[in-house]
């Protein structure tokens, strides 16, 4: 079972001229049910081979684990994908219990919809985030930031972000707003600085911070984005809208459907891969009991 899944990932790595580049952002676009979550979990699980530690999964779906991350991980990889619950408020004891380091899943950021749904008008005619939402968001970060920091400190080098829903204007998506904040201020924040922000007072935890430095430029992020388009041709013709992270991503992969004879096949294509060779193949893949497997190029 695992061998077949690894073979499938090897096919994608070949299409990317050797695989995802460390420290970069990959965006995977595709309709709901096309196989994005299976592919993302495969990338995260493969971290224990490529990096010495599995990656982490951040689910931004407002409905919780409706995408069955835990069931897929258990069936495909024998991976007990448990939710992280450890929260570190300012000046609280920062270190997670030992068992918590086996928790590679978080869905603490459950807000969906438009940015303006979380904003209120200001007296000067502008807008700002509602105070109640800012407080709830800040409290969620007390969970998400330690989730990422302590796993990075323990060797994880892959982050898979799932559950991003379709939006006519990505610039108005609260999910894209939160991802951009996390990507810039947590995932790619200097390890020492992030550690000092979480482990307070710093003098008490200085030895831990110094002993667990990591290179944030080596952390690879995969963002799984659900689209309204389902056909591969429509995805290939899809224009990058204002605020769409795909505009700045290093790599773009699209998953779409296409009629092949009397059946509807799932197809994958690499649209962009800066800094490395890439294949122009369109390949068929299947999602089944053995996860994502490729049928070959065409």
Question: Looking at domain 2-297, which of 3.40.50.300, 3.90.1150.10, 3.30.450.20, 1.10.1510.10 is its CATH number?
Answer: 3.40.50.300
Digit-coded pLDDT (tens) for 233-273: 999 998 877 788 988 999 999 999 999 999 999 999 999 99
Distance CA 261, CA 294 (A): 18
Residue with the two structure tokens 């065409």: 298
Phi-psi group of 132: left, alpha or beta (phi > 0 → left; psi -120 to 50 → alpha; rest → beta): alpha
Considering only the C-alpha atoms of the chain, give the largest distance between any 2 of them, rounded to a whole number of Å. Answer: 67
Cα torsion 267, 112, 75, 15: sign: positive
Residues 91-109 as b/e (b if ≥16 CB within 10 A, e otherwise) read eeebebeeebbebbbbbbb
- How far apart CA 190 and CA 149 sit, in angstroms, is 10
> What is the CB neighbour count within 10 angstroms for residue 3?
8
Q: What is the pLDDT of residues 9-46, one digit of tens each?
A: 888 998 998 889 999 999 999 999 999 999 999 999 99
Residues of the chain above pLDDT 70, percent: 95
Mean pLDDT for the stretch of residues 166-187: 94
Write the CB contacts of 296 (distance below 8 Å, at least 6 apart in sequence): 283, 284
Could you read off the pLDDT of 90-146 as tens digits, one per residue? 999 999 999 999 999 999 999 999 999 999 999 999 999 999 999 999 999 999 999
Q: What is the dihedral of CA 290, 26, 213, 84, to 10 degrees?
A: -50
**Rounded (10°) angle between helices 131-153 and 191-198:** 120
CA dihedral 224, 75, 18, 238 (to 10 degrees): -30
Q: How far apart are CA 286 and CA 148, in angstroms?
A: 31
């Amino acid at each position: 079972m695992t061998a077949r899944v690894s073979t499938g990932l090897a096919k994608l790595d070949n299409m990317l001229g050797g695989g995802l580049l460390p420290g970069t952002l990959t965006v995977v676009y595709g309709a709901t049910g096309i196989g994005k979550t299976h592919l993302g979990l495969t990338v995260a699980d493969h971290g224990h081979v490529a990096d010495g530690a599995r990656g982490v999964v951040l689910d931004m779906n407002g409905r919780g684990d409706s995408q069955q991350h835990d069931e897929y991980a258990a069936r495909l990889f024998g991976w007990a994908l448990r939710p992280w619950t450890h929260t570190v408020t300012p000046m609280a004891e920062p270190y997670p219990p030992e068992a918590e380091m086996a928790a590679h899943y978080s869905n603490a950021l459950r807000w969906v919809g438009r940015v303006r749904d979380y904003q209120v008008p200001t007296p000067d005619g502008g807008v700002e985030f509602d105070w109640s939402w800012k407080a709830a968001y800040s409290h969620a970060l007390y969970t998400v930031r330690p989730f990422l920091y302590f796993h990075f400190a323990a060797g994880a080098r892959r982050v898979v972000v799932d559950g991003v829903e379709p939006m006519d204007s990505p610039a108005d998506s609260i999910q894209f707003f939160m991802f951009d904040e996390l990507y810039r201020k947590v995932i790619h924040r200097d390890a020492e600085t992030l550690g000092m922000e979480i482990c307070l007072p710093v003098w008490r935890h200085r030895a831990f911070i110094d002993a667990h430095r990591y290179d944030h430029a080596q952390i690879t992020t995969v963002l799984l984005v659900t689209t309204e388009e389902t056909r591969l041709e429509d995805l290939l013709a899809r224009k990058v809208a204002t605020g769409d992270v795909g505009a700045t991503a290093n790599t773009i992969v699209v998953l779409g459907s296409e009629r092949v004879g009397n059946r509807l096949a799932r197809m994958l294509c690499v649209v962009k891969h800066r800094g490395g060779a890439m294949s122009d193949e369109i390949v068929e893949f299947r999602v089944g009991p053995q996860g994502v497997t490729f049928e070959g190029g065409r």
